[in-house]
Amino acid sequence: MKIICVGRNYAAHAAELKNEVPTEPVIFLKPDTALLPKRQPFFYPDFSKDIHFETEVVVRIDRLGKNIAPKFAHKYYSELSLGIDFTARDLQQKLKEKGLPWEKAKAFDGSAPTGQFIDKSTLPEVNQLNFELKINGESRQSGNTSQMLFPIDELISYVSKYFTLKIGDLIFTGTPQGVGPITIGDHLEAYLENEKVLDLKIR
Ligand code: MG
């Protein structure tokens, strides 16, 4: 399986990192080794001193597809969750300055924990979902999928022009504004429409 991530999909987040608002989706990949087994903590890597959380809605693909039209994209997933797109911001900044690929800063081991997946039929409309991250019980980041520059079905269509989507592939759909650093000892809890889907300790 593969993990496809979308960058700069919320205008306010693009602005907070001083990036331009894109005219088409920004896409990058993480390998399957970026997944974090359930109930395992995230171990702060020694190659960074500035790991940031990015709370994102995650879509799980459950049907094989290529060149999917936006109007049919909804048939390719039935479950959603939240994930954290952990980012070594210090390393990413250096790589961006040199115009180099981001993978070391974005795709390292454990950089893509995901929560419990929820059947979309039990949720509000996918373009109207509230989500929130609490750290040590305090609200730190929140968003609504209505703020996406490219909605979920458009993302699926776009991504599938380049990569065949396979059952089990995950799409991280981008983070809203409010990203920030984590610290060893932190306790992260992510809520999709008031349901806690992810619970993660930083070690
Ligand atoms: Mg992200």
Å from CA of 112 to ligand 1 middle: 10
Whole-number pLDDT of residue 81: 98
Residue that is written with structure tokens 């999709």 in the block: 192
Radius of gyration of the chain (CA): 16
Å from CA of 64 to ligand 1 middle: 24
Q: What pTM value is reported for the model?
A: 0.97
Å from CA of 73 to ligand 1 middle: 21
Å from CA of 104 to ligand 1 middle: 14
Residue that is written with structure tokens 């019980």 in the block: 137
Q: Thinking of the domain 3-201, which architecture would CATH place it in? A: Alpha-Beta Complex (3.90)
Given a contact cutoff of 8 angstroms between Cβ atoms, the answer to whether 190 and 55 are in contact is yes
Å from CA of 54 to ligand 1 middle: 5
Whole-number pLDDT of residue 20: 86
Q: Domain segments of the chain: what residues?
A: 3-201
Å from CA of 28 to ligand 1 middle: 9
Please tell me the distance from the alpha carbon of residue 50 to that of residue 191, in angstroms, as a whole number.
Answer: 24
Per-residue pLDDT tens, the chain, 203 aa: give them. 999 999 999 998 888 888 888 899 999 999 999 999 988 999 999 999 999 999 999 999 999 999 999 999 999 999 999 999 999 999 999 999 999 999 999 999 999 999 999 999 999 999 999 999 999 999 999 999 999 999 999 999 999 999 999 999 999 999 999 999 999 999 999 999 999 999 999 99
Whole-number pLDDT of residue 154: 98
Beta bridge partners of 83: 56, 114
Please tell me the distance from the alpha carbon of residue 10 to that of residue 149, in angstroms, as a whole number.
Answer: 6
Å from CA of 84 to ligand 1 middle: 8
Å from CA of 103 to ligand 1 middle: 12
Å from CA of 175 to ligand 1 middle: 5
Structure tokens at 35: 């997944």
Given a contact cutoff of 8 angstroms between Cβ atoms, the answer to whether 4 and 164 are in contact is no
Whole-number pLDDT of residue 14: 81
Please tell me the distance from the alpha carbon of residue 120 to that of residue 186, in angstroms, as a whole number.
Answer: 30
Q: For residue 110, which amino acid is it?
A: G
Please tell me the distance from the alpha carbon of residue 203 to that of residue 42, in angstroms, as a whole number.
Answer: 6
Å from CA of 6 to ligand 1 middle: 6
Given a contact cutoff of 8 angstroms between Cβ atoms, the answer to whether 65 and 38 are in contact is no
Structure tokens at 144: 């609504």
